Amino acid sequence: MRSLRRRRAGGAPDIPPSRLSARDLVSEALAGMLQRPARSALTGLGTVLGVGTFVAILGLTATASSQIDSRFNALTATEVGVRDTAGGADPQLARQVPNAFPRDADDRAGALNGVTAAGVFWPVPLGEAAAVRSAPVAGADGERIPVVAASPGMLRAAGLTLGSGRAYDSFHDGRAEQVAVVGRAVAARLGITTLESRPAVFVGGHPFTVVGIADGAERKPDLLLSVMVPRGAAERLWGPPDNAQRARMLVVTQLGAARQVAAELPLALRPDHPEWMAAEPPPDPRGLRSGVTSDLDQLFLLLAAICLVIGAVGIANTTLVAVLERTGEIGLRRALGARGRHITAQFLAESAAQGAVGGLVGTTLGTLTVVGVSALRDWTPVMSPLTVAAAPLIGLVTGVLAGLYPAWRASRTQPAEALRR
């Protein structure tokens, strides 16, 4: 039995203070939450929806942008396109400057740091009548095969691989020689099987010696379906490009140099009129990853925030009702030695647990949504670990905020009042 005389002369008596251990707090809070499971589930719904929407939006955004990332491969990252925009809005200037790329465009671009290959190309404007034939005889129906004027640099930039023969070079180009490179399929259609006999194709009646047959064109596969002729010959025979399909340039750079090269190209090509050259760098991979940008995503995040607020109000309301309902219990606990702060802690822990459980369920549902949508679209689900870790915490914080007022009310309940019930 305890000693009954603890009073010390003159001093405060030795009374061990009331306490509420963390374990007791947790089990009291869980018991409080679980004693009305249906009500707790309904109360938690707002938090579940809020956190679930939040996780799903961030997860889907991350997943979608990572799909763009994977399409954004090494090839496109090292490619710069240049368009000829001279006279874009001015038809007169367009007529005056039909081809803004200078003759030495390949060399000018190639001189830039980080450029591995560069070339100019355009579809040759052949009239309706002009066709590509394997013999000079007119009359027989020619094949409608596109003819592309491509500078020697273009053949390298396109990554042309030759099955037989060779590509034409700047010597042919400079002298406007009538030579051609054709794709494997085009060669077959024109009946060309070997280059030993120095075969020729006739474009609108002009003979071109086929010097090479291409098997592949890594960066511009559609070239394989055309007859490629040097720029010089094309200009001499058919003049500059048609205004509807002006010349373009393809520049291949080293990895990481594309954006810098794109910035320098206009001035390097046309120091006198850089505004005629529009260089298009590859999309910035960082830009692709910069998460939530679209208006729709922001709208959904707003909805998630609204759900969270509704969830918080729901928890606050239920906790307040519980505090009023459980006035007797509060009085009893005070009679059993609980301090006001123990009562605060208990109700705060209950609403926090409510919020945390809602957050956990919401995170699970949100993650399942992301996985489900990814499965439907054949995507690889991608989620930031931060999102998954932070989401239940958001629920917890919601619960704590919602519980502040009711818990404060509970601690203010006078035990004598409470026990009178």
Partner 1 sequence: MTGTRTAGPAGAPPVVRFEDVGLTYPGPPPVEALRPCRLTVRRGEYVTVVGPSGSGKSTFLNVAGLIDAPTAGRYLLDGIDTGALRDRDRTALRGQRIGFVFQSFHLLPHRSALENVLLAMVYNGVPRGQRAARARTALERVGLGHRTGHLPTRMSGGERQRVAVARALVAEPSLLLCDEPTGNLDTATAASVLELLDELHADGLTLLVITHDPQVAARGARTVAIRDGVLTEEAAP
Which residue, 24 or 143, is less far from partner 1 as judged by CB? 24
Scored b (16 or more CB within 10 A) or e, 272-290 reads eeeebbbbebbeeeeebee
**Six-digit token string for 366:** 């949100």
Which residue, 23 or 286, is less far from partner 1 as judged by CB? 23
Local structure of residue 224 (DSSP, 8 states): G
Minimum distance of partner 1 from residue 9's CB (angstroms): 11
**Six-digit token string for 207:** 């003979």
Contacts of 361 (CB under 8 A, 6+ apart): 44, 48, 52
Minimum distance of partner 1 from residue 411's CB (angstroms): 12
Note the residues at the interface with partner 1 (CB under 8 A): 1-2, 4-7, 12-13, 15-21, 23-24, 28, 31, 35-36, 328-329, 331-339, 342, 415-416, 419-421
Spell out where 221-373 has E strands: 227-229, 248-253, 277-280
Minimum distance of partner 1 from residue 354's CB (angstroms): 16
Minimum distance of partner 1 from residue 365's CB (angstroms): 28
Which residue, 5 or 198, is less far from partner 1 as judged by CB? 5
Minimum distance of partner 1 from residue 342's CB (angstroms): 6
Which residue, 34 or 375, is less far from partner 1 as judged by CB? 34
Consecutive H or E run containing 148: strand 147-150
Spell out where 242-363 has E strands: 248-253, 277-280
Which residue, 18 or 194, is less far from partner 1 as judged by CB? 18
Which residue, 166 or 341, is less far from partner 1 as judged by CB? 341
Which residue, 37 or 127, is less far from partner 1 as judged by CB? 37
Minimum distance of partner 1 from residue 329's CB (angstroms): 6
Minimum distance of partner 1 from residue 20's CB (angstroms): 6
Which residue, 36 or 103, is less far from partner 1 as judged by CB? 36
Let me know if 327 is exposed, middle or buried by CB neighbors in 10 A (0-12, 13-18, 19+): middle
Residue pair 162/123 in contact (Cβ under 8 Å)? The answer is no
Which residue, 175 or 420, is less far from partner 1 as judged by CB? 420
Residue pair 210/166 in contact (Cβ under 8 Å)? The answer is no
Q: What are 217-223's contacts with CB under 8 Å, separation 24+?
A: 217/158, 217/159, 217/160, 217/161, 217/183, 218/75, 218/158, 218/159, 218/161, 219/75, 219/79, 219/157, 219/158, 219/159, 219/250, 219/252, 220/158, 220/159, 220/250, 223/148, 223/150, 223/158, 223/160, 223/183
Minimum distance of partner 1 from residue 47's CB (angstroms): 23
Minimum distance of partner 1 from residue 56's CB (angstroms): 35
Going 284 to 290 to 293 to 294, the CA torsion angle's sign is: positive
**Paired strand residues for 227:** 147, 182
Residue pair 48/399 in contact (Cβ under 8 Å)? The answer is no
